[in-house]
Amino acid sequence: MTNNEKVLVVDFGGQYNQLIARRVRECNVYCEIISYRAGIEAIRAAAPKGIIFTGGPNSVYLEDSPTMDPAVFELGIPVLGICYGSQLMMHLLGGHVCRAPEREYGKTLVHVDTKSPMFQDVNPDTICWMSHNDYIETPAPGFAVTAYTDNCPVAAVENQEKNLYAVQFHPEVLHTQEGKKMLHNFVYEVCGCKGDWKMDSFVERSVTALREKIGDGKVLCALSGGVDSSVAAAMLSKAVGNQLTCVFVDHGLLRKNEMEQVCEIFGGGEFEMNFICVDARQRYYDKLAGVEEPEKKRKIIGEEFVRIFEEEAKKIGRVDFLVQGTIYPDVVESGLGGESTVIKSHHNVGGLPDYVDFKEIVEPLRDLFKDEVRQAGRELGLPEYLVSRQPFPGPGLAVRIIGEVTPEKVAMVQDADAIWREEIAKAGLEGQLSQYFAALTNMRSVGVMGDERTYDYAIALRAVTTVDFMTAESAEIPWSVLQTVTSRIVNEVKHVNRVLYDCTGKPPATIEFE
Ligand code: XMP
């Protein structure tokens, strides 16, 4: 156990609640999230240096909206309310919140009072991200207005004496240009934190906690060769040494040559761990035959993974724990991230079957974002080529093949994807892209090749840039590269006669296709 100073994020159902926690961690201050349902007792027991109320989709003045005991403002602990959190603070303390005459959404110019501790060293006119239907019409007694916009007379308020602060905009998203500075100000100037937390303390703390939890038990780690599961495996290996066995499942939905590469890295003696590779290709193709619905595909894949791990565990004997490299975006989008809604069931979380024959599932990276996982990997001494690999989803190419999965379609995506990756590498674009791949649309269209009519599939190419994979931009790829890839794909990959480039960001799309 450590006695790091801590900031507590109280979750009222916003999509960005983990981003808030992450920004606080970036300030080297440990941060945890709890649901508002845990109530004031849990907050008091956690003894945080500061409290942040998140945004949320509700209206404070409606019955049954998430709320909090107003005594929280009397604990002597600084509180920052964000969006819904700001409105709730005002509502509970006697201000007035109502539907705004004009909804504000997107990047907005905000005029801030730089004398406020929150806005120290911030530009007086600064761009912030707004997303609200309601607004604070009248602040609560004792509060001073410290920011406004053209449409929102109360964009920030504070009561310095009581250490209560509230902002209508979202300082945690990168679109708020000086949001990091504002959160830094809250954590250091208002809460008085010193910044005693770093990623190495996370790794150390996790290794100690895992060692305690596992004791002399045996552990199976579901290893995909991707960044997340590799970091989880390295962490477990550090914690319990050869009590750990890593199982890699070839579900027939891997990228071209992936199985060989993973076996070489993990089975080749570079890492000291027990390593098993299971060839389950046919088993997956049989289970997926005729299945078109994305969520059903994910659930089948998730279930099959666990069944295979159970079988392998029986062969080893007495395995109590199953380790997965689940990270935070998997959790939140599977609808398990506290109060927010389901986007898709990531196989290693929401895709798990109801019954799992292990004493416990261990997910040591569950609170981290991708780039934080990479940082943890470096702390654990993993080689850079592994740590900086682009992500690959657990359900593999199944979520890059729209509709039914067949071995023939898998081969098409594998070949197109290999060409796309090869050309991106040749053009030297790898370092600028966060993730890039080919997907097979379920669309067939008419074409002409060598004077003959064709009726074949369209491949979609995707390339995105992102920091945390919660939001992403479609990347600008030079036209010449797209042309080369297109002509190679239609020439080299059978049954493909059209290549499309996906220009959509996230939101409104997701990075993967299903
Ligand atoms: P989406 O498509 O949700 O993807 O925007 C965000 C990031 O998560 C990866 N991803 C997954 N990873 N299991 C995983 O381990 C999954 O089921 C899964 N689905 C998406 C995706 O590749 C991207 O990096």
Residue 201 in contact with residue 29, Cβ under 8 Å?
no
Q: Which residues contact 184 (CB under 8 A, 6 or more apart)?
A: 27
Whole-number percent of the chain with pLDDT over 90: 73
Tell me which residue has its CA closest to atom 10 in ligand 1: 393
The predicted-structure confidence for 394-450, as pLDDT tens digits, reads as follows: 899 999 999 999 999 999 999 999 999 999 999 999 999 999 999 999 999 999 988
Q: Which of 15, 254, 297, 346 to mutate to test the pocket of ligand 1 (most atoms within 8 A of CB)?
A: 346
Ligand 1 centroid distance, CA of 20 (Å): 21
Answer yes or no: 170 catalytic: yes
Distance 507 CA to ligand 1 centre (A): 14
- Evaluate whether 67 touches 40 at the Cβ level (below 8 Å): no
Please tell me the distance between residue 333's alpha carbon and the centre of ligand 1 in angstroms.
9
- Residues 373-388, mean pLDDT to the nearest whole number: 90
User: Quick one: pLDDT band at residue 343, thresholds 50, 70, 90?
Assistant: low
For residue 1, name the pLDDT band (cuts at 50, 70, 90). very low
Determine which one of 170, 184, 251, 346 is catalytic: 170
What residues are in contact with ligand 1 under a 6 Å CB criterion? 329-330, 333, 344, 346-348, 391, 393-395, 399, 435, 469, 506, 510-512
CA distance 329 to 227: 14
Predicted confidence (pLDDT) at residue 91 exceeds the cutoff of 70: yes
Ligand 1 atom at shortest distance from the alpha carbon of 351:
17
- CA-nearest residue for atom 16, ligand 1, is 346
272 pLDDT band, cuts 50/70/90, is low
Q: Over the stretch 480-511, which tens digit does the pLDDT of each residue have?
A: 999 999 999 999 999 999 999 999 999 899 99
Percent of the chain with pLDDT over 70: 93
Q: Which atom of ligand 1 is nearest to the CA of 226?
A: 15
What is the per-residue DSSP string for 340-385?
SPPS---TTTTTS-S--SSSEEE-TTTT--HHHHHHHHHHTT--HH
What tokens were used for 421? 């990756």
Higher-confidence position of 103 and 488: 488
Give phi and psi for 262, each to the nearest 5. Answer: -65, -45
For residue 346, how far is its CA from the centre of ligand 1 (angstroms)? 7
d(CA 166, CA 159): 9
Mean pLDDT of the region 173-194: 96
436-439-443 Cα angle (round to 5): 150
For the stretch 197-219, pLDDT in tens is 888 888 998 999 999 999 999 99
Q: Which tokens sit at 143?
A: 């509060």
**Ligand 1 atom closest to the CA of 298, numbered from 1:** 17
The catalytic residue among 27, 31, 83, 191 is 83
Give 279: exposed, middle or buried? Use CB within 10 Å, 0-12, 13-18, 19+. exposed
pLDDT digits (tens, 9 = 90+) for 31-70: 888 899 999 999 999 999 999 999 999 999 999 999 999 9
Query: Which residue, judged by its Cα, is nearest atom 14 of ligand 1?
Result: 393
CA of 393 to the centre of ligand 1 (A): 5
Catalytic residue among 5, 104, 158, 172: 172
| Dist CA 345 CA 323 (whole Å) | 18
Write the residue with the smallest CA distance to atom 9 of ligand 1. Answer: 393
Task: Indicate which atom in ligand 1 lies nearest the CA of residue 346.
Answer: 17
221 is catalytic: no
Identify any residues that bridge with 457 across adjacent strands, giving them in sequence order.
444, 496
Mean pLDDT, all residues of the chain: 91
Question: 4: CA distance to ligand 1 center in Å?
Answer: 32
In this structure, the residue with its CA closest to atom 11 of ligand 1 is 393
User: Is the Cβ–Cβ distance between 249 and 305 less than 8 Å?
Assistant: yes
CA–centroid distance, 130 to ligand 1, in Å, is 27
